[in-house]
Structure 1
């Protein structure tokens, strides 16, 4: 069992590296909203596996590799946010004419950020990242992981998510974003260790994804509200303010009704 677990985890690391490399190549050719999303997702999956492997093998350090990947995420954030806002505003501007100047500003931002992102992606040292992944693979290959250690790793991530859940304040949107970050880590970890999960825990994965989608919609709403407030510095037009305040409140109301689902996502008492 331990050798089997270790081998499959390392195979998963290799799979995440391959997906990351493909996503990076795709983004070099086309920084579309979908391509950027796929690259960010690939980076997060790779980071989650690095975190798991270093938790199971404390001597197998991956700090430099993790920092490299996190820097890439940070550099993609502005473009991702702009593209998500463009999708929303592009649809809504047909009924709220006051949004058209903001839409034009977003389009200009996207053009600038696309150029910056393409230039940045060309500088990403994919060969260096590959070598570091191989080095980590070699360090972990000789060590064993067992099912108990895997479940304890999930307990730790889930415990952090519960702490952030208990700190959620619907009037403080950053508290929901903090919960979202923890829930992403939980989802990626559960996806990676699916072969060793009881069936009832596997069944929770779609529900966790839906939970994250709702939290993501709230975060997107917060980012959009901040951008609108900054752009209309003399005050948001009444129609725009009313529309997006109602949209955000509806999302928050839904989350407050559904938030307790978190207690079904993993064992509360190991």
Structure 2
């Protein structure tokens, strides 16, 4: 991990940290193109999200038009990688259902459909990466890093200390989390829980970006936020799986049993989420993040 002084000017930190995210994206892109392994594709997707968070974080330091073009291109990459990842997760889950207890013919057919869909998604992904190669994005990022908006910048003082700006930006991400928490304490608020997951994910990526500034406790705070994200992510997956079962499986006792099983798993996860809120309240975690910088 690179070193960064808390007193470094904002624009200097912006160039250094975006360059670090760019390098990570290049490495993971090249690996994913070689293997098209499920985990390598997932790692590239996460890397694209981390780059997007870095671009959003330092957006006041660069010309808006250049930044918007890069952000749009990176967002397209994230979406392109997401479809196959979702199918992979569904296949893992339904295979576990098929191996636990009596196999249902309907479940076998669903798995067969997902396998065929994944093959088609892989073809589309390969074609997508060919039609949207890494080189133009790399060139755009290189050009962006050479044109920080240093003078007559009305959005931010690019010479302010990175640590002061970073603390403000952690508070900004925590506002989004705090707004959703009251609704997300209701198990039936599926959309609020989904949006809270996204808000927590963005908070995590922002705090990861600031690792070179963080003092003691950084790893522990990241672990807490990641635990929230993982738990809410699994709940969201279960919501998608339940929707898939409801739409694709015929009305049989096996379908009813499977939906009940998914509902039971989700209920247990929500209980874990509620316990985590009591044990490690999110507002306290956000404040600890701010203070650690």
TM-score (norm 2): 0.84
- Residue 79 and residue 183 in structure 1: after superposition, are their counterparts in 2 closer, same or farther (change >3 A)? same
Structure 2 matches for 1:139-150, cutoff 5 A?
139-140=147-148, 142=150, 143-146=158-161, 147-150=163-166
Are residue 254 (structure 1) and residue 276 (structure 2) matched?
A: no
Find the counterpart in structure 2 of residue 12 from structure 1.
17
Figure out how many residues of one structure are paired with residues of the other and give that number: 269
Are residue 164 (structure 1) and residue 180 (structure 2) matched?
A: yes
Equivalent residue in structure 2 for 1:155, among 142, 162, 171: 171
Find the counterpart in structure 2 of residue 36 from structure 1.
41
> Whole-Å Cα distance in 1 between the matches of residues 137 and 177 of structure 2?
29
Equivalent residue in structure 2 for 1:186, among 200, 203, 213: 203
Q: Can you give the 5+ residue segments of structure 2 that lack an aligned partner in the other structure?
A: 1-5, 151-157
Q: CA deviation at 1:135?
A: 2.3
RMSD: 2.3
Deviations 1:73-106 (A, max 9, x none): 2222221110011112222211241222211111
Find the counterpart in structure 2 of residue 113 from structure 1.
121
Find the counterpart in structure 1 of residue 91 from structure 2.
86
Moved over 4 A (4+): 58-61
Are residue 46 (structure 1) and residue 61 (structure 2) matched?
A: no
Q: CA deviation at 1:175?
A: 1.0
Structure 2 matches for 1:177-256, cutoff 5 A?
177-200=194-217, 203-234=220-251, 237-256=255-274
> Whole-Å Cα distance in 2 between the matches of residues 128 and 237 of structure 1?
47
Q: Can you give the 5+ residue segments of structure 1 that lack an aligned partner in the other structure?
A: none
Find the counterpart in structure 1 of residue 111 from structure 2.
103
> Whole-Å Cα distance in 2 between the matches of residues 201 and 18 of structure 1?
23
Per mean C-alpha deviation after superposition, the further-off stretch among 16-25 and 106-115 is 16-25
